[in-house]
Structure 1
């Protein structure tokens, strides 16, 4: 987890190599007058947080500000999150002096910020190529991520443990198409990653994929207002999170914490009043109706969604022999 400078130059890094390969691919397609779709998957700021120069030194000596919930009490949080935070606080993962938790987490945050800047530079190179090559007016660019990073929030240093909070589930979702979309518009509506394919198909005048649960976001991208999803859902194998209005509910199956919470555990946050998710309202009787409503919404989503992940902790696929028995009756 330690933040540190990489011995690799930017050109030798994952970001530099991926940007170079993507640009070469787009150049080949442009020279052949061939339409293209390019998926440039930049792994960081996923671990490890070891940016190349000048991105590590970019934050040297800077007075980095920790998020307001970096040292919060975790009394109302899930047991596995408490365990992760307790492990981080031991500081036994620190590689460099001073080997204290306080110093190590600032190095981690510095490495995280440097990695973000390195990714930003790589994206900039690809956008520069589109502009300089005369391709910008006929190209749609989507910048998104599969998940976020705690980056010191709630005392956690990485993406684990799961999908409990905005730090993980609220990700960048930027669309760029000069002359076709409303520049600088920020849409407040709930959208999801599954909307990418449906929206790209609509913008390219192609039929939507039959298997997609996504919505066409093009009205939002043009600056209009329209409800796309009544709720936003993020799912993991053993927990699911739902966002509706200003509330987020996270629910864990009863067998995930059978000793501590035999009736199941959950988290509920009012993101208007508590944007840093420091007060869990799940067990507050005053919010019982909100919990009930959001759990109903989650069940409705499970029933109507094409491919929900319904397995839970400890679930295992059947053995080959069992699969044969199932297939043969």
Structure 2
């Protein structure tokens, strides 16, 4: 204990104008968001169908939806305030301490291993907060309203798979990011941005083709009549449909979803099996919404906006990374005189 106390005292203190400005801004933003949630909660307590929806929405379904949204929102208050307090405690106590621990274990000059160990510690520090809230959300809120189909075994199986994927991708991407910044010097942000664009497109292929099949079973759509209707709809709007899938979303939830993926002329549509009990015209209406995003170029527009936003962030980061302002911010957030790429980036992104 004496060693631990001495080590903790050696961790630089957290505090200064940048820290308090960050705390003040995030606190004000959080309170404003909670105020908006309270306003919405008031609407969720209404029991009369809005005049605009009278005759279109069943009153029983409306009340069920109101109860569900109310329960989710009340749960969200508890979760959000707990996370807010935990995040601030983590800012002052945990994150700089975890960096000091990782630095002590890995030794000087070991930026790659120190950063990976730091992330690992932080990830496990958050588990006691995240897991109970996820369990309550699935097995109390969703269960109460008839949406949860997940077993406890499947919940933890998904969690373990997600953890392993995080370790694999994090273990590859974090060192790659550090290497780009170190290797390309002052103009690293151009190459970092280009690498992120390539990774984004790669992930758009990897997720539906590699990652999601680890969690869901993909099958060719079995309903031939529905298949023909969807193909006709796709042809009507010139959507380059190549395959139609259904997946076993009902293993986890009663919620429904549909989406498309693929590049250029090789698009595929995926329907959750929880949709298939609906009338064909209802399913087609849902797909019209998704195809509308494609037809009006919303996906491409969002990609361009994300790309410009990312380039702006990286170029600003490249401008301030080696400045005295950045060094002062790093010191005030409790990291001493480290020049770690990921510490600099994390503080900048705050």
Same fold (TM over 0.5): no
Bigger fraction of residues in helix? 2
Of structures 1 and 2, the larger Rg is shown by 2
